[in-house]
Amino acid sequence: MSPLPQRRIGPFTVSAIGLGCMNLSHGYGAPPSEEDAARLLNHALDLGVTLLDTAALYGGGRNETLIGRAVIGRRAEFTLASKGVLDQVEGRRVLDGRPEAIAASLDRSLARLGTDRIDLHYLHRLDPAVPIEESVGALVRAKEAGKILAIGLSEMSAETLRRAQAVHPIAAVQTEYSPVVRNADVAVLDACRTTNTGFVAFSPVARGLLAGGVAHDRYAAGDLRAGMPRFTGERLRANLQVVGRFDALARQAGLSPAQLSLGWVLARGTHIVPIPGTRSIAHLEENVAAATRPVDPGIVAAVDALFADRPLVGARYPAAMQAQIDTERLPGEEMA
């Protein structure tokens, strides 16, 4: 198999499309068996995916444990990214950016992953009670100790990035980004470009909305979309109408909707790496194929025009989760 196209994220060269591992343990109803999840992770590596992304929060640590059991023996084949600060402690979701909490969370992650280092370690969210400089300082000390190789930020603003950069170079900013979630266009994408910081796009197919994965709001128990305003009720029904037009553009381009969404993200800048997640081998192969199927500029422009004229309705997070998001808001964006 030919290697996938490569892109740079900080000091790392990775496949142009990575793998978000969250939904193998967390967020979308009952997770797959560990055997099935391990099979998917290994198949991703076989296909040439070289960026795996997890977090301490996912499944209360079970996602990191899964990666430690399933693929850590192939450690040389991929860049390992994880996230701390946002964690689950004694069954409770905790946001704690204090240096001592970051150090403790990192050590727990290393133990679950079964490794002595994480390549790219993010601050998962900004703790408003702790200056970003102090939180970044904790990761600088972890880097000096050899526990991590590079530092990232997740769901943070351009201003926060600049403050963090004043303490230590930031390898990557990770934020939700897709044709229908464009907050990074306000300032973060440009800030990353000018500071030589990579941009990692999570949920690049809009939590399945741009991949034919959402047709109604009858979600399984434990599916986080049931609490997201744009994924339920009349808002969802309105959004599915415009998504139908997106699907038609994909057919015109000879692509699946997921491939069009991923191709659109890749076309937004060479410093961008999307990390779609999936539990399906077939969908994994479909997503990875998008790395070698560039989208015609005319189709890219048509996608831009479609959602400029008819953006999604409804907030992207429920209020409690939105309160932990530092990224810039779009003009007129709904917050609840």
What is the per-residue DSSP string for 93-156? EEE---HHHHHHHHHHHHHHHTSS-EEEEEE-S--TTS-HHHHHHHHHHHHHTTSEEEEEEES-
Helix 62-70 to helix 99-113 angle, to the nearest 10 degrees?
A: 40
Angle at 228 between CA 186 and CA 259, to 5 degrees: 65
Question: Helix, strand or coil for residue 19?
Answer: strand
The one catalytic residue among 58, 122, 177, 317: 58
The Cα 96–Cα 22 span in angstroms is 20
Told to judge if 219 belongs to the known catalytic residues of this protein, a careful annotator would answer no
- Name the amino acid, one letter, at 270: T
Handedness of CA 253, 255, 258, 259 (dihedral sign): negative
Q: What is the DSSP string of 293-323?
A: -PPPHHHHHHHHHHHHHS---S-SS-HHHHT
Helix (H, G, I), strand (E, B) or coil at 10: coil
Nearest partner of 267 among 176, 186, 189, judged by Cα? 189
Phi, then psi, of 244 in degrees rounded to 5 = -60, -35
Residues annotated as catalytic are 58
